[in-house]
Amino acid sequence: MNYVGRPIAELEKLVMEKGDTTAFEDLYIAELDSDYPSSEVFPYALLMANKYNYKAAYGYVYDCLTSMFGDTVKMDERSRAMALYYYNNSYYAEGKNKN
C-alpha cells in the first residue's frame, strides 16, 4: 500500500458531512492502491455526485460500476443505463470541480 495520508475513517467522515472534494480524492487514491476496494468507495462517489454535485465523482461512479462488473457488456440493462448516465454527466453536468 502506497497511500500514507489521513486515516480512511477521517476521509469518509469529511466526505459524508462536508462534501470535501480533497478528502474524496484521497479516498479514491486509497482505493486505487487496492487496499480499499471500489465497492467500498462507490457509495461515497454516489454521494459526491448526487448530493454535492461534484463533477469528477460522476466519472468515479462509472469507474466503480465498470470495475465491479468487469465492463458495461457484462452489466444488466439497468446497471448499464446507470453507468452511462454517470459517464455522460462526468462530462456534461454543471457541477463543481473542487472545493
The Cα–Cα gap between 31 and 11 comes to 12
C-alpha 31 chain-centroid distance: 10
Determine, yes or no, domain membership for 42: yes
Residue 26 lies in a domain: yes
Q: What is the pLDDT of residue 97?
A: 61
Count of domains forming the chain: 1
- Residues 4-19 pLDDT 10s: 678 989 999 999 999 9
**98 domain residue, yes or no:** no
Residue 97 lies in a domain: no
The position carrying cell 453536468 is: 93
Q: Is residue 1 a part of any domain in this protein?
A: no
Name the range with the highest mean pLDDT among 24-33, 34-43, 50-59, 63-72: 50-59
